[in-house]
Amino acid sequence: MPNEMTVEENVLYIEALSHALRDEMRHDPSVMLMGQDIAGHGGAFKITKGFLDEFGPQRVRNTPIAESGTIGIATGAAILGQRPVIEMQFADFISCGFNQLVNVAAKMYWRTECAVPLVIRMPGGGGMGAGAFHSQNVESWFLHSPGLKVVAPAFSDDAYRLLRSAIKDPNPVIYFEHKFLYRRERTDLKGTEIGDRVVGEANVRRSGQHLTSISWGWMTHRVLEAAEIMAAEGVEIEVIDLPVLSPLDLDPILQSIEKTEHVAITHEATRTCGFGAELAARISDEAIWNLDGPVTRITYPDSPSPFNKKLEADRIPSVDVICDGWRQALQS
């Protein structure tokens, strides 16, 4: 496509999202956007700024502060042949539309054999002192709901490619975007082939032989920084990034553990019933005899996010906390 932004250097995460939406809307006239203040204002983070002028009010629609109604309308539109992309102002607000998502959209194909090609973009995560209503990492809510796919890219190129693949997918896709990465993470867009649906991915971002680290989103960047520190100590960490949480690509994880015999899972979500617990269970089921120590989890504590940035920073797994967790795992 002549107008597609598939090759560009040093692209910000937030720009990659905007490029993906624009390119897919140019490619497919059935793609439409919905969300609070996304039209003239461009959304809370300006990702859709200028879209109204190019695509018009029928395809870029402001919605009221009514998440349940928005998801219900979008589900109906998807059944009737549209491909809606909803922007939640913050991932936390999805709770107001939970029933329409997990009991209607997620189950529609099982009930009626009607596809629901719906994407819900979820700006989430902490690091900005935004408090308890604007900082949560809620991926585990949806990983427990059959019928939903869950994406959480850490890099701009993955963000671009997976958003376009999610829009093409006939299933509802929950697409997590970490706010801290919006204007900090940069990656080249290299014209990677866009799939017609989201499939499981587990990418080895750094090779190592002493311990397997599993992470996604912002934490992958902290894990990579921590791995550099450990390398100076003679410890080589194998870093696996999960841009797609569901469907899960477990095989590369198991292959890595067979080599390293130690594993640590790092996530920003709270500890109890976080996705790290499910990963630990799956690893124990499939690779218990390859482990030379218990599965380690490095997570946010079970507490709401504070407004105070220092207090929040003390809760989010830091590079030092990650390194300490790895050292303990290797000693156990």
* Intra-chain end-to-end CA distance of the chain, in Å: 54
**What is d(CA 101, CA 95) in angstroms, rounded to the nearest whole number?**
10
Shortest CA distance to 121 belongs to which of 76, 147, 91, 148? 91
What distance lies between CA 248 and its chain's CA centroid? 13
CA distances from 305 to 41, 135, 157, 206, 316 (A): 28, 7, 29, 31, 9
Q: What are phi and psi of 88, to 5 degrees?
A: -80, 135
Shortest CA distance to 145 belongs to which of 264, 24, 7, 275? 275
How does DSSP assign 33-78, residue by residue?
Answer: EEETT-SSS--TT-TTTTHHHHH-TTTEEE--S-HHHHHHHHHHHH
**Cβ burial, residue 128 (10 Å; 0-12/13-18/19+):** middle
134 is catalytic: yes
What burial letters (b/e) apply to 249-266, b meaning 16+ CB within 10 Å?
bbebbbbbbeebbbbbbb
**Cβ burial, residue 288 (10 Å; 0-12/13-18/19+):** exposed
Residue with tokens 């015999």: 261
Q: Please report, as a single letter, which amino acid is at residue 133.
A: F
Among residues 19, 41, 134, 144, the one annotated as catalytic is 134
Residue with tokens 């910000």: 12
Shortest CA distance to 132 belongs to which of 270, 13, 35, 37? 270
Which residues participate in catalysis according to the annotation? 134
